[in-house]
Chain A
Amino acid sequence: MKKFLTLLSVSVILAGIVSTSFALTAQQIMDKVVNENSKFKNQKVEMKMYVQQKNMPEKQYKLVIYVYNNGQKKYAFVRFNYPQSIKGMSLLSLGKDKEYLYMPAYHRMQRIAGSSKNSKFAGSDFTYSDLSLLYSQKEDGKYTLLADNSSEYVVRIIPSVDESQYSKIVMTIDKSHFLPTKIEFYKDGKLYKTMKNSGLENVDGRWLFKNITLNMADGSSKTTIVLEKTEFNLDIPSSFFSVRTLFMPILRY
C-alpha cells in the first residue's frame, strides 16, 4: 500500500512550478521536475477514478487523499467514498512498515505490509510504482535526453532496479511548467501503456494537470483520474495522520 501513496505524489508532481532552463542534462531535468513539485506542507485532493476495461462496464471510484510533507517525513491518508460498497475503506501511511488499512465492514484496522510495486491499484491500470518513478530515478534509473525542442524535453529512462516491470520509460516534459505531459511505458521493448496528462490549471499559484489518462497499448483498458478539487497547505495537524482517523466515519478536513 505504501506505493499507492506514491500515487499521491503524482498530484504533487503535477502541481508544477513554471521554470525555464536551458542546456539541462536529463538528470537535471528530472531533478527539477521532482524538486519543483514537492514544495508544499500538506495537500488535499478529491478525485474520481474511472476504470474502463474492454467489454466491461465502467468502474468508478471517488476518493480523497491527504498528504503531509515536512521535508523529512511524508504521511498520507486515503479514503474511498464511492462506490457505496467500499465507502470508508481507508489507507494510512506513516512511513515504511507503518501502513494501515481500515475495513469499515469489519470495523477493523489491519497493519499491512508495503504492497508490491507492480501491483495494480483498485483494479486500475496504475501500479503503485508507475508514478513514483520520479522519486527513485535519481538512484535507480539511467536517463538520456532524447529531444529538446522549444516546448518539450523528451527523456528516456532505463530503470536499473531489478523489480521494475518496465524495460524503458519515455517521458515528455513540458518546458514551461516542468510537468510530464506524456509517459510511455515499455515492456520487453514493446509499448505497454501510455499516460497522458491534460487540463492544465493553476491552483494557488501551482500548475497541475487535472486529467490523467492511462491507456493500455493493447486496448484492453483505460484508466482516467480526474482531480476534482486540489487544495494546498490547509490547516491540517500532523495528528490527523494517525490510526484514530481511520476509525472516524466523517473526516474533519
Chain B
Amino acid sequence: MHCIKIMQCIIKWQRGVEMQKLGLWVSKHRWFIIVLFLLLSVFMAYEASKVQVIDNITKYVPENDPEISYYNRVANRFKMNNLVLIGMKYHSLFSMNSLKNISEITKGIQKIEGVKSVISLTNAPWIEDVNGSVQVSKISEILKGRKHVNLKSLEKSVMSSPIFKGQFVSPDGQSAMIMVSLDASLTEKESINVSKKIENYVNSYSTAQKVYYTGIPTSNLSARKIALKNMEILIPLSLVAVAIVLLLLFRNAVGFLLPLLSVILSSTWTVGLIRLLGYTMTLANIAIPVVVIALGNAYGIYVVNKYFEERDADHSVRVSHTLRDIGTAILLSALTTIASFLSLMTVNIDPIRAFGIFTAIGISFALLVNLLFTPAMASFSKKHASQGTKKMKKCNLGRKIANVILKNRVAFIALTFLAIGAVSLFIFKVQSDMRLSVLLGKNNDVVRAMDYFNDNFNGSDFLIVDFKGKATDPYLLRSEKLISMYSTNHFKDVVGGTYSLATMIQEMNERFNDQNYIPLQNDKIQNLWFLMQGNDLSQLVDGKLDESVEQIRVKPISMHEIKELREKLEKFVNAYIFKSYSYVDLSNCDEREKALAERALSDYLKGYFTAIDKKISPIAIKKIAHEVVNISTGEILKSKSSKVSNELVEYLKSLDMLDGFSSKEISTLRLAVEQGLKNGYSQGAFESTLKEKIGEENEEMLAPILEAQIPALVNKFRTEYIENLLKEELKDVSLSASTFENLSLEMSDRNVAIPTKNGKHHVEIGITGIPVVYNHVSDMLMRSQYESMALSAIIVFILLVIQTSSLTLSLIGLIPVGLTVIFNFSVMGMFHIPLNAITITIASMTIGVGVDYVVQIFSRFKVEFKKIGKVHEAIVETFATSGKGIVFNSLASSMGFATFFISNIGGLKQFAVLSISTMVVALLLSVFVLVPLLSTLPETFYRKAFKITKKKG
C-alpha cells in the first residue's frame, strides 16, 4: 500500500505541475522537437525499409526446449530439418523425356550450393529384375546405360515397389517427388535463398505441367513473400482508413494530419527499431505496424481535440493546458496498453514475445510523439473548436444515452451478463493451432502446395520415429515394420505411407530371396545391408549405424489427429516393443529359453495383430507361439524328404550342374538325396550316401551346393507348415494372403527376440517431426495465454488503483474488460478461430484497449464529479464531454484493424474480426455495464475516493 501511495503522489504531482511544465517546454522548443523528430523519422524509415521477414516454426521456441532440441537433433542428423519437397506433375511421367527431365533436375539441384542431398525417383536405390537377374542400381543409370528401356515394364515395377510408390511417385503414377535436404548449418535467410535458387532452377528446366514446392524453407520463402506483400498493402491502407475517420471527426487539415502523422512516425520508428536491433519480422508479428497505427492514433485524437478546446490566444498556454488536462489520462491509457502488450513476454514463443515488446514500444513511441511532437506541431495552429469543428461542443445525444442507461441500469447490467453468459459456452470450443496452413488461410501458394502433396502423395509433412540402437539389428528393423503397420492401419486418413530401412531391407529380401519379410538373423540382414552399401541412405540411417529413423508421411489435416497418432504410437511402442532384449536360437536352446521365446513370440504376435488392427484370441496366439517354438527340423526333413530332394535336383539343373548327367543318373541322385534326408540329416552321413550312390567325383562337385541348399529348403518347408498352422488357427479372421505369407516367414525364423532386463541389445524410440513441433508450440501457446492474461490483468488493475485510488473502483473497472475477453474467446469458439501466433495477442490487447475506455470514463467522471458533486449528473456530463472522443477512438482503431480483412493471410483476417470485436464490445460494455455499475455507488464513496472534503456546486 505504501508503494501505491507513493505512486499516487507521483501521478498527482505530475498531473498538477509536470505535465503543464512539459507543455510549456514543448511550446518553447517546438522547432527543435519537430526537426529532431522528423530527422529521426527519416533515419528510421531508411532502417525500416530494410527489415527482413523470416518465419520458421522451429525457431519460435528457445532451442533448449526439450521438444525442440530433440527435433533439431534428429532432423539435423537425418537431413530433415531443412527439407524441400518438389512435386512435379507430368502429362506422362513414364516417358523417356519426363524421366530424363527428373534425372537432370535431380542432378542440377545437387550442384546448387547449400544443397546437402537430393533424392528422387531417378537416383533412389532401385532394385531391378533383369531377365531373372537382380541388380541394385538407379533409374538414372538405366536411362543412361541402355538405349531401349521398356518403359511399361519400368512403370509396372515402380508402381509395385513399396519404396517408390507413394514416396517418389504419386499413387496415380502422374507425379514425381524430389526430396531436397539443405545444409543444416544454413541460417534461415540462407535457406530461403537456396530455396529460391532451387525454385528458379526447377522452373527453368522442368518440362512438367505443374511444379509445387513445400517444406520448411520453401514455406518460409512463400511466407516471406506473402508477409512483405501484405505489409506493403496493409500499412498504407490502415493509414487511409484512420485518415477517413479523422477527417470525419475534425474536418480540418490540422486535426486530420497531426494524429495521422503521429502514427506514421510511431509505426516507422517501431519497424526501424526492429531492424536496428537486428530482429526480423515473422508472420506472427507483421501486424505490429498496423496495430500501432490503429491504437496509437487515439492519443493524437485526444491531444488535438483538447488543443482545439483551448480558447487562449497564446499557443504556450494552449499547449500547456492541453497536456495538463489530458496528459495524465493519455499517459495512463498508454501505460495500460503497453503493460498489456508487455504481458506477452510471459509467452515462451519468441515471435509472440517480440510482438508484445515491439508493439509496446510502438505504443510508447505513439505516446512520446503525441506528448511532444503533436503539441509542438499543433501549436502553430490558431484554430479553435468553434472555428473548425463542432466536436468540442458538449453532446446532447450523449446526455440522452446516459440518461436512458442510468434509468434502466439493472436491465442493462442483467441483459449484458446474460448475453455474455450465453455466448461464453463457446469458449470450450477454442483450440490452439499453430500450423502455417491455418495461419495463412487458403488462398496462397503454401497451402495450395500442401494440398497438392496431401492429395497426390498422401501427405505433405513427416512424423519422424527415431530409433536409438543398432540400425541393422533385426528386431529393431521388425519394430520399424510394426510401427509402420500400426500407423498405416489405424490412421488411414492421416498417414500416407512410411519409409525406413526396414522397407528397404524387406524389399531387398523379396527381390533377392523371394522372401517378403525382415529376417531375424543378423547375418541375413548383414548380407542384404552389404548390397545396399554405396547408396545414399543418410535420411534413414546414421553413418555410425547407431541411430535410424522411420519417416511417416502425414496429412496434417488436423492437429488433434496428429496428436492422437503420436500418443497412440507411443502407447503402442511402450506396450509391444521390447526396449532391452536378447536373441534365443530355437535350434540350440534349453527349456527355459524355449519358454521365454514362447512368451516373447506371443507378445510379438499380439503386437503384430494390434498393428494390423485384427483381434485374435489369446488362446490362438498362445497355441501358435507354442507350435512355432516346438517345430522339429528333423521331422520336417523326414516328412518332406521327397519334395526336398526334387527341389534340390531342379536347383542343380537350373545351375547347369547336371548337364552331363543322364536321366538315370539324375534319378539315382534324386533317390540318394531323399534317402540321405530320410535317415535323419547329418552332413557326414549325407555325404556318404551320396558317394555311395553317385560316385566320389560327383559327390565332391554337388555336395557343397546341396548342403548349402538344405537349410534354405528346411526353412521353406517350415514356413509352409507354419502358414498352414496360421490358416487353421486364424480361419475366422480375415487376413490377406500377403499377411499370411509375411507372418509365416517371420515365425519360421529360428531366432527369437526375448525381452531381458539387461539385454545385449537396446532400443530407445522417440517421436518427433514438424507436426509434433506445431502441436508443442500450440500447447505452449494455450498455457502462455493464461499467464499473459493474468499478468496483464494484474498490471492493469494496479494502474487503475493508481488512477482511482480505490480498490472497489478498480475492480469495477476490470469487469467490462473481463467480459470483453470472455466475449472474444466466445467469438473464437463460435467461428472456429484457433488460437495461433497472431490471435494469441488478442486477449492481452483486449485488456489493454478495453481498460482505455475505463480510464477515459474514470478520468472524465472524476473531473465532472469534482465539479458537480452528484453521481448521476457527473455521469451524464462524462457522456456529453468524452462520449464522442471515445466513440471516434473506437471507430478509428476499428477502421485501422479492418484493413486486415483485405489481407490474404487468414490469421490476419481473424485478427481483424477479434480486434474490431474488442474495440466495439469493450466500448459497449464500458457504456452498458461500467456506467450503470458506477451509478450504484453512493456519492459518499466517491467523495472519499476522490478525497473531496467539500461538496462543490
Contacts and interface: CB of A to CB of B under 8 A. Distances in A.
B526 A105 contact: yes
Contacts of B704: 244, 247-249
Contacts of A107: 708-712
Interface in A104-130: 104-124
B841 to A, nearest CB: 44
A243 B655 contact: yes
A57 interface: yes
Interface stretch (B128-136, B433-441, B842-850, B859-867): B128-136
B888 interface: no
A204 interface: no
Tell me the dominant secondary structure on chain A's binding face: loop
A115 B210 CA distance: 34
A122 B533 contact: yes
Contact of B657 (A104, A163, A244): A244
A56 interface: yes
A49 B749 CA distance: 33
Given A106-B513, A107-B711, A116-B137, A86 B543 contact: no
B141 A116 contact: yes
Contacts of A121: 533-534
The interface centre, meaning the residue of B145, B521, B522, B711 with most chain A CB atoms within 10 A of its CB, is B145
A226 interface: no
B419 interface: no
Nearest to A1: B135
B527 interface: yes
Interface string A59-72: 00000000000000
A188 B111 contact: yes
A56 B141 contact: no
Contacts of A101: 531
Contacts of B534: 119-124
B527 A86 contact: yes
Contacts of B615: none
Contacts of B522: 85
Nearest to B542: A56
A123 B711 contact: no
B544 A56 contact: yes
Nearest to B522: A85
Given A243-B655, A244-B657, A57 B544 contact: yes
Contacts of B707: 247
A56 B701 contact: no
Given A108-B712, A243-B657, A85 B137 contact: no
A105 B524 contact: yes
A119 B513 contact: no
A106 B138 contact: no
Contacts of B528: 103
A89 interface: yes
Interface in A12-32: none
A151 to B, nearest CB: 36
Contacts of A119: 136-138, 141, 534
Given A120-B534, A124-B534, A86 B526 contact: yes
Which of A105, A120, A247 gathers most chain B CB within 10 Å?
A: A105
B141 A117 contact: yes
B527 A89 contact: yes
Contact of B141 (A118, A123, A247): A118
Interface of A: 1, 53, 55-57, 80, 85-86, 89, 97, 99, 101, 103-124, 162-163, 188, 243-244, 247-249
11 contacts: A85-B523, A103-B527, A103-B528, A106-B512, A113-B133, A113-B135, A115-B137, A121-B533, A121-B534, A123-B533, A243-B657
Interface of B: 111, 128, 130-138, 141, 144-145, 512-513, 521-524, 526-528, 530-531, 533-535, 543-544, 655, 657, 701, 704-705, 707-712
Given A104-B523, A106-B712, 12 more contacts: A85-B522, A85-B523, A86-B527, A86-B530, A97-B133, A107-B710, A113-B131, A115-B135, A120-B533, A244-B657, A247-B707, A248-B704
